[in-house]
Amino acid sequence: MLTKVNFLDRLFRKIGVLDPSGPLRANPRIITGIVGFHLLALLACIPWLFSWTGVVLAVAGIYVFGTLGVNIGFHRLMTHRGFACPRWLEHSLSVLGSCCWQGTPMNWVAIHRMHHQHSDDPEDPHSPNTSFFWSHMGWFLIFDPNIWSINTYDRYARDLLRDRFYKKLERPRFWRLVHLIQWAVYLVAGAIVGAIATETLEGTAQMAMSFLVWGVFVRTVLVWHITWSVNSVTHIWGYRNFKTKDNSRNNLLVGLISNGEGWHNNHHAQPRSAAHGMRWWELDVSYTTIRIWEKLGLVWDVVKPRRDLAKNLTEEEGNIGGVEEPKPASLKLPASFASSADVSSGGEPKNIVPDAVESSVPVPR
């Protein structure tokens, strides 16, 4: 736990990020990593490191790591259990998500479930009601013992806490290994391409570094700001299809660049739905991917949106009243998991994710 007041604490207090009378402290390790990655991404501005192959890798990486790893893996599968899949596929998606430097799977899931329970309330870990900067990135630059604790994991991510694979990813040596491997893959692949294309040592080194800078550093920063925009932008600007208890919005720009995560009001209305886009223009590449996997037999029990609600959406007015999340008929929300269930304005629990052990919802295999 951070206790000493340092330069960053004083700076954050001065600019209004930290409350001078509060116990929270700036987290130097996280801040150093965030600043460092942004500086490394700026290496892409050096002409020597530019390559069109690198640009393609960055764009493709947004889908492979951001969409498959974060959107589908961390969010729609592990957090909300919007579908079921084999254990090997879930673990593979969790590794892809981990490559995005957004925390471990257990950490990501716990904080997001906390967000749904307290969305735009004072207990929300990243509400823009505090400030835009706070919701976009300020909240994780701070060490908050109420968030970064084993008690939070036990309360909000108990299903993942039971999985030894996710426990291993919490260990620093495994975490570092994942990132070292992805760096090595890009470096080696770039070196091979450079050697074949140029047959020179300089060309080999140039392409290796280009692959690393564009495929890892630029891609990571892009995915960061896309994800962070869902926390910030889509709780401030956009339109609402559903009347929810929070300020969630559907934002066209974020919806498109995030491959479906920006249809945030839809998501908060029906958290467990694997589909976030519900109007014809609400393109949801993440859900399209899930449907393709379903056709191929890779996933099953995909939670569909409630069509009786979706068909009532109109061009002029999308608010259709409070929305109760659909549950499978056999699903019982355990009392032990009630702390991590969303609560509607009427005080009734709204399921965010079933307890995969205690409920009858099929578990990944």
Please indicate, yes or no, if residue 363 is contained in any of the structural domains: no
Cα–Cα distance measured from residue 233 to residue 268, given in angstroms and rounded to the nearest whole number: 15
Average pLDDT over residues 314-332: 38
Please indicate, yes or no, if residue 319 is contained in any of the structural domains: yes
Please indicate, yes or no, if residue 209 is contained in any of the structural domains: yes
pLDDT of 351 over the 70 cut? no
pLDDT in tens, 270-314: 999 999 999 999 999 999 999 999 999 999 999 999 866 655 554
pLDDT of 268 over the 90 cut? yes
Do 97 and 70 touch, CB atoms closer than 8 A?
Answer: yes
pLDDT of 331 over the 70 cut? no
Name the nearest CA neighbour of 273 among 63, 77, 74. 77
Cα–Cα distance measured from residue 187 to residue 265, given in angstroms and rounded to the nearest whole number: 40
Please indicate, yes or no, if residue 161 is contained in any of the structural domains: yes
Report the pLDDT value the prediction gives residue 37, as an integer from 0 to 100.
96
Domain interval for residue 192: 45-350
Report the pLDDT value the prediction gives residue 350, as an integer from 0 to 100.
45
> How many CA atoms lie within 13 Å of 172's alpha carbon, on the beta-carbon side?
0
Report the pLDDT value the prediction gives residue 307, as an integer from 0 to 100.
66
Please indicate, yes or no, if residue 226 is contained in any of the structural domains: yes
**Strand 25-26 to 342-343 pairing:** unpaired
Report the pLDDT value the prediction gives residue 2, as an integer from 0 to 100.
54
Do 2 and 25 touch, CB atoms closer than 8 A?
Answer: yes
What is the token pair recorded at 301? 């029990």
Please indicate, yes or no, if residue 79 is contained in any of the structural domains: yes
Cα–Cα distance measured from residue 210 to residue 53, given in angstroms and rounded to the nearest whole number: 8
pLDDT in tens, 174-207: 988 999 999 999 999 999 999 999 999 999 999 9
Do 247 and 120 touch, CB atoms closer than 8 A?
Answer: yes
Percent of the chain, pLDDT > 70? 83
Where is pLDDT greater, at 330 or 96?
A: 96
DSSP states along 304-356? ---HHHHTT--SS----S--PPP--TT----GGGGGGSEE-TTS-EE-SS--T
pLDDT of 163 over the 90 cut? yes
Predicted confidence band of residue 233 (pLDDT cuts 50, 70, 90): very high
Handedness of CA 215, 218, 221, 226 (dihedral sign): negative
pLDDT of 47 over the 50 cut? yes
What is the value of pTM for the model shown? 0.84
Cα–Cα distance measured from residue 225 to residue 232, given in angstroms and rounded to the nearest whole number: 10
- Tell me which H or E stretch contains 269: helix 264-269
Average pLDDT over residues 103-108: 94
pLDDT in tens, 119-161: 999 899 999 998 899 999 999 998 888 788 888 899 999 999 9
Please indicate, yes or no, if residue 24 is contained in any of the structural domains: no
Q: How many domains does the chain divide into?
A: 1
Cα–Cα distance measured from residue 276 to residue 280, given in angstroms and rounded to the nearest whole number: 12
Report the pLDDT value the prediction gives residue 325, as an integer from 0 to 100.
38
Cα–Cα distance measured from residue 214 to residue 15, given in angstroms and rounded to the nearest whole number: 33
What stretches of the chain adopt beta strand conformation (E)? 25-26, 142-143, 342-343, 349-350
Please indicate, yes or no, if residue 365 is contained in any of the structural domains: no
